[in-house]
Amino acid sequence: MQHVTSLSFLILAYSNYLSHAGAHVSCGGGGGRSAPPTKLRQVAKRQVDYILGDNPLRMSYMVGYGPRFPRRIHHRGSSIPSVAAHPARIGCKAGAAYYASAAPNPNLLVGAVVGGPSDATDAFPDARAVFQQSEPTTYINAPLMGLLAYFSAHPNPAEWADD
């Protein structure tokens, strides 16, 4: 999702620039084809919808969002028991047992977006060991927050009309 969230945020920002400039983006290839800013916003919105569960797996890649989401994310604080559940110290090497466990993480890192599917087949193993797909990162989550903020403030696509 690293590239999906970053590029979608860029597309959304560019669509806002185009709206204020009263311009369209050229599609190239001759023929004078172009896309209005609203089309770019629709592309960005489709990507957000995909991340949140409108995809072939019907799975949200945001922990805690919707009925189906990643349960075994690659995150130490999420994958080991809380101090309340396990008051004794858990050393670095002792955490390996929790890392290797097939059990869902005991602590939900609500709102964290993981790396997502691996390829065009939308395969997602939901396994801590596959950190490329199951690890939440700031560079995935930060641009998504910008997208969610925009679409929260502008939930009605009719409001996206080009200037």
- Amino acid in the structure at residue 4: V
User: Which two three-digit tokens encode residue 45?
Assistant: 């919105």
Q: How far apart are CA 151 and CA 48, in angstroms?
A: 9
Q: How far apart are CA 107 and CA 64, in angstroms?
A: 11
Q: Report the catalytic residues.
A: 74, 126, 135
Q: How far is CA 154 from the centre of its chain?
A: 19
User: Which two three-digit tokens encode residue 133?
Assistant: 């797909």
Q: How far apart are CA 61 and CA 119, in angstroms?
A: 14
Using DSSP, state whether 4 is helix, strand or coil. helix
